[in-house]
Structure 1
Amino acid sequence: MPQLNPAPWFTIMLMTWLTFSLLIQPKLLSFISTNNPSNKTTATTKPTPWTWPWI
């Protein structure tokens, strides 16, 4: 059964992982985010109590 032989598939997986981690990932991480977070103050609202009809 050739699909159980890990020799070619392990090499392909290793080369793909190395390509992603060494070439593609630094280029993706170098992009600047277009939506910078703003320092908005969050207003806290007091919730209104719920009147339960069966109590």
Structure 2
Amino acid sequence: MPQLNPGPWLMILIFAWTVLLVVIPPKILAHTYPNEPTAQNNKAPESQPWNLPWS
């Protein structure tokens, strides 16, 4: 059964993992987002008490 011979498949596995771990991460990390998040105010908004007509 030729599919049990690990010779060619081991090299394919090593090459695939090499591509995944060496080539692809820098491409993903170099991606820039069009809308960078900005810092928001840390000041809490001023709230007004509710005027309830039945109270």
Q: TM bucket by the smaller chain?
A: 0.5 to 0.7
> What corresponds to 2:46 in structure 1?
none
Q: Say how many residue pairs are matched.
A: 40
TM-score by length of 2: 0.53
Which string of whole-angstrom CA distances, capped at 9 and with x for unpartnered residues, describes residues 1-55 of structure 1? Answer: 1101111001001001101211122111221234555767xxxxxxxxxxxxxxx
TM-score by length of 1: 0.53
Structure 2 alignment gaps of length 5 or more = 41-55
Identity of aligned residues (%): 40
Question: d(CA) in 2 for partners of 1:33 and 1:6?
Answer: 43
Larger radius of gyration: 2
What is the aligned-residue RMSD (CA, Å)?
1.9
> What corresponds to 1:16 in structure 2?
16
